[in-house]
């Protein structure tokens, strides 16, 4: 038997599920335990097909709008957060509603509403059309949140009053990109009020830090995550910017482009915040089938944060 070539596998830590994702999944599972199937979920609870299909098999029904769910069944709002009109619609229909919005996203919503109450127009750094951006912008009346995606957007911005501005950010963006856009905002609008604390969530920051640490010594970095997952896409981008010549975003081992990895002697592996560890383990096994793998952990932080589920799920059925 021909011996397998050696491969050093740099494993990012932390990777995969964050506290907000873990909480959101637990909320759907607890709702099913409390009220039985079906429980309706507006939008994908998190951006991962494996997670969604697993919950669907347990009795969750995923819909895009509240009106698609019967009024006599519970509805869960996804971890990304929703516009204020969504729970208002559910309330008007008399539905049991359970909010699985990540508490760190809720914090951004609170910031936006506070700035509005104090007479400021809000600028949001985020990606157009992403559910989190839609939900945050939907906390305020139309026109009260201006979206910018990059520095060029900052130059085109026409606020109502340049002296009465504040900015917030989507929690899953690139740390470096966000800092660049924030700096452009502050340079153009010196009076703009910045967040008291960084809106980029701890999990996003930690996962990007681990990728930055491993990228310069890797021939390629594999990111396990969904293509519609903002934080997963950012990890693949961060790897390239940090000096790795190649990165791949894959939902599972079956999507790996093996030809692009030919001759590799050092690979990095991480997972977006909504990707289960089982998918990472599948990738590791696929690598072991082709290489003699030596695992090297790359530890950027130790996470021990937990978020409580809503009170309605802590009460007895």
Q: Judge contact between 48 and 275, C-beta under 8 A.
A: yes
SS3 annotation, 169-188: ECCCCCHHHHHHHHHHHHHH
Task: Find out whether the peptide bond into 175 is cis, omega within 30 degrees of 0.
Answer: no
- Beta-carbon contacts of residue 210 (< 8 Å; ≥ 6 apart): 12, 13, 14, 15, 270, 298, 299, 300, 301
Helix 49-58 vs helix 19-35: angle between axes, to the nearest 10 degrees?
A: 10
Backbone angles phi, psi at 294, to 5 degrees: -115, 120
Radius of gyration of the chain (CA): 21
Residue 78 burial (C-beta neighbours within 10 Å; 0-12, 13-18, 19+): buried
Q: Judge contact between 124 and 171, C-beta under 8 A.
A: no
How are strands ordered across the β-sheet holding 220-224? Answer: 247-250, 220-224, 266-271, 6-13, 292-299
- Active-site entry in 29, 44, 111, 132: 132
Q: Judge contact between 74 and 35, C-beta under 8 A.
A: yes
CB atoms within 10 A of CB 36: 12
**Known catalytic residue: 251?**
no
Hey, is 168 helix, strand or coil? strand
123 DSSP β-pair partners: 146, 167
Q: Judge contact between 105 and 81, C-beta under 8 A.
A: yes
Active site residues: 132
């Amino acid at each position: 038997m021909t011996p397998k070539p050696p491969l050093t596998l740099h494993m990012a830590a932390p990777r995969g599920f964050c506290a907000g994702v873990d909480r959101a999944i637990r909320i759907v599972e607890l709702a099913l335990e409390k009220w039985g199937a079906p429980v309706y979920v507006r939008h994908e609870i998190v951006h991962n097909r494996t997670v969604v299909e697993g919950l669907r098999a347990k009795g969750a029904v995923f819909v895009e709008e509240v009106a698609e769910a019967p009024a006599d069944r519970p509805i869960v709002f996804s971890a990304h957060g929703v516009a204020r009109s969504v729970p208002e619609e559910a309330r008007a229909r008399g539905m049991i509603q359970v909010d699985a919005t990540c508490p760190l996203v809720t914090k951004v919503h609170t910031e936006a509403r506070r700035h509005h109450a104090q007479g400021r127009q809000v600028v949001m750094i985020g990606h157009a059309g992403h559910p989190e951006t839609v939900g945050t912008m939907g906390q305020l009346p139309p026109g009260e949140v201006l979206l910018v995606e990059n520095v060029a957007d900052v130059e085109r911005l026409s606020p109502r009053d340049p002296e009465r501005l504040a900015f917030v950010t989507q929690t899953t963006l690139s740390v470096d990109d966000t800092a660049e856009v924030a700096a452009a905002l502050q340079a153009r609008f010196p009076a703009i009020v910045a967040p008291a604390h960084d809106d980029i969530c701890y999990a996003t920051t930690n996962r990007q830090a681990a990728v930055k640490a491993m990228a310069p010594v890797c021939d390629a970095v594999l990111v396990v995550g969904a293509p519609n997952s903002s934080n997963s896409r950012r990890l693949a981008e961060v790897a390239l910017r940090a000096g790795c010549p190649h990165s791949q975003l894959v939902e599972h081992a079956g999507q790996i482009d093996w030809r692009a990895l030919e001759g590799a002697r050092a690979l990095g592996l991480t997972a977006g915040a909504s990707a289960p560890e089982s998918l990472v383990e599948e990738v590791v096994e696929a690598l072991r089938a082709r290489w003699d793998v030596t695992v090297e952990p790359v530890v950027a932080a130790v996470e021990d944060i937990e978020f409580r589920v809503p009170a309605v799920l802590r009460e007895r059925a």
